[in-house]
Every structure is written in structure tokens, then in C-alpha cells.
Amino acid sequence: MKAVGIVVEYNPFHNGHLYHVQQTRKKTKADCIIAVMSSSFTQRGEPAIVPKWERARMALAGGVDLVVELPYPFAVQTAESFAHGAISILDALFCEQLCFGSEHGNIDAFIEIAQLLTNEKEQHDEKVKHYMKQGMSYAKAYALALNDIGHDILDISQPNNILGLHYVKAIIEQQSKMTPETIQRTVAHYHDKTLPVNESIASATSIRRFLQSNHDDVVRYVPKTTYDTLQTYRHTYTTWHDWETYFPLLKYRLLTMEPDDIRYIAEVEEGIEHRLKKAVAHATSFHDFLSAIKTKRYTWTRLQRICTHILTNVTKKEMAKALKNKRATYIRLLAMNEIGRAYVRKVKKQTTLPIVTNVKHIQNDAVYHIEKKAAQAYMCILPEPLRTEALQREYATPPLR
């Protein structure tokens, strides 16, 4: 049984994701498609619009056979750590191939640049430090350093290209037997903020913006199962999960923390804690708050991740412990169909990581310690008794089938 891995957030699952799953199966001849999916918060430091269980259900309906969790310490991270966590899980599940979407669409360029970065790591790292000392963001410094050592065939300013590059680089560094493949993204770009009029594929960003504006007519851009799942969740829990809803909680955290306390939070550096304290006192919305503290060096994405770590109270020490080996320490099953179930039965005695269906078995794990805190913070915006019910679901829900 040939397994092929994909790395996803499904925030929410839309027609572009459906195309990716279908093309992955067609291009790789996969018998089992395994999706490793971010849990409660995403790589760019945003709350997922609905919980992982709803998104996992969307994935199964969209043709994925097995959905496993990418825990918070890897999910809310730079592209490099995000990729290492995802690849370590898919490799432990014996995936033969990884298939990712990209703006470039040609796997040869990703392999060439990933090998170049591996061979010229010290030179590239030094150049990154050089540009960051000039006040540039890490992403900008990374791109310029790559240009300096001879890259001109891959536009890594594009979000899916940079993630794809780190997937391939992680495969090389972890000496995985997986072979990478890519599918070119169609129509919508990751950062598009408006819904296209004459197309059926829109970015997840534009779909979320439309939903958050109290419009629910996104049926053209998502499969029916996604649409029904979103409507059911909103009807049951009365809210979407977005930063504006969490902002009062973030504001409370920042107003009651001392600068020294903020300094211990993951990703907080170089005195940004004073800027955060000053700006939050006058901010009336999350958007206004981030606009006030954004700089050339501190990008919107990096600030969102810092805010997420403050909200979840994840410290540098906790994060360093969880990421010590750059690899996941367990595989948590979220959802599977019969194909996925058969595949799990086949590999569960061979894999080097424990396959978890009940979190009581990983209570002392450093990665799960952070994941648990994130889940608790994520549910805090829900009214009682829905919040308690949602938390019980987090700890007691077996994999969906």
C-alpha cells in the first residue's frame, strides 16, 4: 500500500485543497493519502477558524484517507521548524512521497536549492546574520542570502515556495527515504483577500475574511461538506475563531504581565516587550495593535506568532525543550477512513513513534504539554457550558471515522 504525505492547515478546506488532494492521488498513484494538519493555531500565528476536529472531517470528505495532528510547537513556527515537524511525522508513517502545492510547480528547482542550502549552510547562515544586523526581517535576510550564494531559479518570496523548499530541505537533513513532488497552485494566491467572481477556487484568506464579515455565501468556493460543517459549527458555538475575538484575552495578558515576564515568552527578542506593553494600552482592535508595533524587522506574521505564544503562555524554555531534536515525539490520529485505518494497522508495530488515540498516554511529553495549553487557550472564547464540552472533546475524542 503506497502512502503519500501532504502538509496542510485546511483553514478551512476549500476547492483548491480538493484539487491538491485529487492531483496528488493522480500524480503519485497513492493508495493512501496522509495529511499532517496544524492543530488549533496556524503557522502564521492565527487561530484556526474552526477546531481541528471539524477541519479533519472536511479533509476526510475531500478525499484524504488519514489525518494526523501537527502539534503546536511545530505548527506555530518558522517555515524551517514547521517543515521539520511535519516531515518527521510523515517519515515515521513510512510515506514514500511528499506532495506539496507551490507557485513554482517544478520539483527540480526545489531539490537543487535545498541541496545548495545544505552544502553551503555555514555561508548562508553568516549572510543571513549580516542582513539581519541591518534591520531586515528573517524572511528578507534569508532570501537575500540565498541570492548571494547563487540562487536565481526559485522565487522564495512566495509563501508556498518557501514552505516547499523547507520540506525538501527537511527531507534531506533527516535522511528520509521520501521523495518530494509538487503541484502548481491554480488561480488563487495565498494572500488574496477578495473572492474571485468568475472562478470556483479562492484563497483560504479570502474565504475567512468573508465569513468573519458575517457573510456565509461561500458555497461556490468550498465543497458542500465544508460548507455544512462551517454552518453547523457557527450555529452550535455562535462564533468563529479569529484574532479580533481573542484580542480582549491578549490585551488582559499583556496589561497584567511585567516586561520581564513577556521577555521569557517564545520568540520575544530585542526589547519588543516594551513596544507591546505601550501599544496594547491604547489599541482597540487586534488589527490596530499589530499595525502600531509592526516594523521592517518584525513582520506581521512574526508578531502574530509572538502574540499567539503570549496568549498560550508558551515560554522560550518550554519551546526549546519541545524542539530539542527538531522532530515530533508522537503521532496523534485525528481522522481516518477504512483505507487509513487499514494503513495504521499495517504500520503501527513498525513505526518509531507512538501512535496515539488517547492523550492520557502522552501527558508527560514536552510537545503535548504545549499542545494542551494551546487547546485550552483556543477554547477560552466559548461560552459555558460549550467551552467545557469542547475541552472534553479535545481530551476524549477518538479518531473520527
19 annotated ligand binder: yes
d(CA 155, CA 149): 15
Q: How far is CA 121 from the centre of its chain?
A: 25
159 annotated as ligand-binding:
no
147 marked ligand binding residue? no
Spatial CA neighbour of 113 closest among 86, 153, 84: 153
7 is in an annotated binding site: yes
20 annotated to bind ligand: yes
**What Cα–Cα distance (Å) separates residue 324 from each residue in 84, 89, 327?**
12, 16, 8
Is 63 annotated for ligand binding?
no
Q: What are the beta bridge partners of residue 183?
A: 101
Determine contact, residues 354/390, Cβ cutoff 8 Å: no
The annotation status of 8 as a binding-site residue, yes or no, is: yes
Q: Cβ(305)–Cβ(45) under 8 Å?
A: yes
Q: Is 210 annotated as a binding residue?
A: no
| 389 annotated ligand-binding residue | no
The C-alpha cell at 375 is 487547546
Residue 16 marked as a ligand binder: yes
17 labelled binding-site residue: yes
Distances (CA, A) of 317 to 84, 202, 267: 19, 39, 11
54 in a labelled binding site: no
Is 14 annotated in a binding site? The answer is yes
Q: Is 181 annotated as a binding residue?
A: no
8 has which bridge partners? Answer: 37
13 is in an annotated binding site: yes
Ligand-binding annotation for 9, yes or no, is: yes
Residues flagged as binding site: 7-20, 101, 160, 185
Residues flagged as binding site for ATP: 7-20, 101, 160, 185
